[in-house]
Structure 1
Amino acid sequence: MDSTDETLGEIPLPPYVTAEDVTFALRAVRVHAAEHQPDGPRCRNDRAPHPCRLHRWGRRVLAERGLTDHDIQTMLAEQETPRP
């Protein structure tokens, strides 16, 4: 964790994880993905050490919904695949 994470803490989970929350969480995981830098992995969106607060929040929301890492990767791949 960096100093911002220590100051702000974790982003709270919604009381009930809805389908809309899953959509936002998938976007957070995709946008705040790791990018390799000389000093280690960094969030490609905000340059915080990876995983950043929003990436962790997205993963926690998806886990709360009962999704596994495999499920998450599958859903992210489906979003990236262009539809005919």
Structure 2
Amino acid sequence: MDSIDEILGELPLPPYVTAEDITFAVKAITVHVSEQWPEGPRCRNDRASHPCRLHRWGRRVLDQRGLTDRQIRRLIAEQNVSQP
């Protein structure tokens, strides 16, 4: 975890997960993907250690919703197809 993560802590989860939260969570996971750097995996978007805060938040939202890994992969694939 980066020092900024230690200071800021985790992003709070919504009290209940809506369809809009799922959309935001999938977007967070697809934008904040891992990229290999000499010092190890970093977030492609913000260069923080991967998984970064937003990637972790997105994953926690989807986990809270009860989605399986297979369902999450399908949502990510659909997101990637719909991007121009």
Q: TM-score scaled to structure 1, two decimals?
A: 0.93
Q: Does 1:26 align with 2:26?
A: yes
CA RMSD of superposed structures (Å): 0.9
For 2:57 and 2:39, locate their aligned partners in 1 and report how far apart those are by CA, in whole Å.
23
Which residue does 2:56 correspond to in 1?
56
Letter of the 1:34 counterpart: S
Which residue does 2:79 correspond to in 1?
79
1:19-75: CA deviation from partner (whole Å, max 9, x where unpaired): 000000000000000011111100000000000000000000000011122211111
Q: Taking every aligned residue pair, what percent have the same amino acid on both sides?
A: 70
Q: Does 1:38 align with 2:35?
A: no
SS state at 1:81 partner: helix
Deviation at 1:81, TM superposition (A): 2.2
Q: Which runs of 5+ in 2 are unaligned?
A: none
Letter of the 1:35 counterpart: E
For 1:66 and 1:27, locate their aligned partners in 2 and report how far apart those are by CA, in whole Å.
18
SS state at 2:66 partner: coil
SS state at 2:35 partner: strand
Q: Which runs of 5+ in 1 are unaligned?
A: none
Which residue does 1:15 correspond to in 2?
15
